[in-house]
Amino acid sequence: MFKFPLAYNTFSKNDEILISKVFREGFLTQGKITQNYEFRLSEFFNSKYAVAVNSGSSANLLMISALIYSKDQSLKLRRGDEVIVPAVSWMTTYSPLIQLGLVPRIVDIDKDTLNISIESIKNVINEKTKCIFAVNLLGHPCEFKELLDICKQHNLILLEDNCESMGAKYDSKYTGTFGLMSSQSTYMSHHISTIEGGFVLTNNEYFRDLLVSLRSHGWARDINQNSRFYSENITNKNYEYLPDDFLFLLPGFNLRTTEINSQLGISQLPKLDDIISIKRTISGEFSIILNKYQNLFSTQIDKYFSSCFGFPIIAKNKRDKDLLKIELEKNGFQTRPIVTGNILSHPVSKFFPGEIPKLKISTLVHENGIFIGNYFPKVSEAVKAFEKSFDLFL
């Protein structure tokens, strides 16, 4: 057991009481509580729609699938289309692209923010490029002005994987509200937790309907009959004899959440700001200490408003990284790699089409990166232990 673990638990006695109540009331799968949760999410993040699902990975799968089944010719992905995506993210950012026949065009990250490098994007855009799937890594917002400019100039769709950055802001606007759609995760170790869970944010009504239908078997239930999505899928009068609850429009999935997870989400959401505040304080203290060793180590630069998912450290050389890892663990910190490191350095890279590009910063992060948590009840104790871990480098 580590004194300063990567994951934490913010559930309270009250959550236990609320869940028991849901359980006793008897309707447990996605229903009215989930609708309420979605409403609160959309209000909180100032997005027109929130669609709750059972994980951040499901949110990614749902977004990419919605683009495959879209009949909007300007907002559609087809087999063989290229999607630009950074090399450092989670595997399930890439999985739906590969599974659905798209071509992930993997690019390098920026050395200061660890987010997708704008220069690298410009270098790979070609006539097959249709989408940029930006990832707000570890709480840090991407360069949205540049991303939106590039998308406008080249007619590209912008998607966001915001699974690690709930509550982060760029120009006072929440990350996850810049792209056509964004994914969020409420997995156990994320900013707020519903045990497993996630949701998609979008301002686009047509895509909201696509997401809702694909989430639940592809049925027409929950879709407004006056909507564009409904009418474009009802092409034959005979379908009218089937009730919407049992009318299928698309080959969908079952990615639904449950009322228990949604109830947890409702009680966790108001805690988000305080959680971020503690994370920002601890990351700030860690950064001050790390700064004294800037000839040996660096971290992500907080250019906008980071929700500081955790604390990444990148050593200039591998030997120092190995030494620091031992010291951090000796002082009670649980450590891990920075997200996946470079995804193309994993065995799964054989499933990525095309040649494997050489990516300098992603490789550096892969080889010399360490990650620790930043949410601990005793802040000063954690800061002292962190400082002590560097004594060796004085």
Ligand X SMILES: Cc1ncc(COP(=O)(O)O)c(C=O)c1O
Any contact of residue 161 with ligand X (CB under 6 A)?
Answer: yes
Closer residue to ligand X (CB): 114 or 359 = 114
Total interface residues for ligand X by CB under 6 A: 16
Nearest distance from residue 164's CB to ligand X, in Å? 5
Q: Which helix (H) or strand (E) holds 34?
A: helix 32-45
Q: State the catalytic residues.
A: 190
What Rg value do the Cα atoms of the chain yield, rounded?
A: 22
Nearest distance from residue 319's CB to ligand X, in Å? 28
Residue nearest to ligand X (CB): 56
Any contact of residue 185 with ligand X (CB under 6 A)?
Answer: yes
Site for ligand X in 297-356 (CB under 6 A): 339
Measured in whole angstroms, the distance separating CA 250 from the mean position of its chain's CA atoms is 26
Closer residue to ligand X (CB): 4 or 187 = 187
Closer residue to ligand X (CB): 109 or 223 = 109
Any contact of residue 56 with ligand X (CB under 6 A)?
Answer: yes
Closest CA to 211 of 177, 252, 161: 252
One of 62, 102, 135, 211 touching ligand X (CB under 6 A): 135
Any contact of residue 114 with ligand X (CB under 6 A)?
Answer: no
Which amino acid type is present at position 323?
Answer: L
Any contact of residue 89 with ligand X (CB under 6 A)?
Answer: yes
Half-sphere exposure of 339 (CA within 13 A, CB side): 27
Contact status, residue 304 vs residue 171, Cβ threshold 8 Å: yes
Residue 161 tokens read as 């994987």
Closer residue to ligand X (CB): 47 or 58 = 58
Measured in whole angstroms, the distance separating CA 54 from the mean position of its chain's CA atoms is 13
Residue with tokens 């228990």: 260
Write the binding mask 192 to 211 for ligand X: x where contact by CB under 6 A, - elsewhere.
Answer: ------x-------------
Nearest distance from residue 163's CB to ligand X, in Å? 3
Any contact of residue 263 with ligand X (CB under 6 A)?
Answer: no
Q: Cα dihedral sign for 339, 345, 347, 351?
A: positive
Classify each residue of 10-47 as buried b or exposed e, where b means 16 or more C-beta atoms within 10 Å of its C-beta.
beeeebeebbeebeeeeeeebeebbeebbebbbebbeb
Q: Which stretch binds ligand X (CB under 6 A): 20-28, 31-39, 87-95, 146-154?
A: 87-95
Any contact of residue 90 with ligand X (CB under 6 A)?
Answer: yes
Q: Provide the residue count of the chain.
A: 394
Any contact of residue 164 with ligand X (CB under 6 A)?
Answer: yes
User: How many whole angstroms separate alpha carbon 88 and alpha carbon 365?
Assistant: 8
Q: Which stretch binds ligand X (CB under 6 A): 49-57, 76-84, 253-261, 271-279?
A: 49-57
Nearest distance from residue 198's CB to ligand X, in Å? 5
Residue 276 tokens read as 């971020």
Phi/psi of residue 76, each to 5°? -150, 145
One of 30, 42, 92, 213 touching ligand X (CB under 6 A): 92
One of 42, 55, 115, 262 touching ligand X (CB under 6 A): 55
Q: Which residue(s) pair with 90 in the sheet?
A: none
Site residues (vs ligand X, CB under 6 A): 55-57, 60, 89-90, 92-93, 135, 161, 163-164, 185, 187, 198, 339
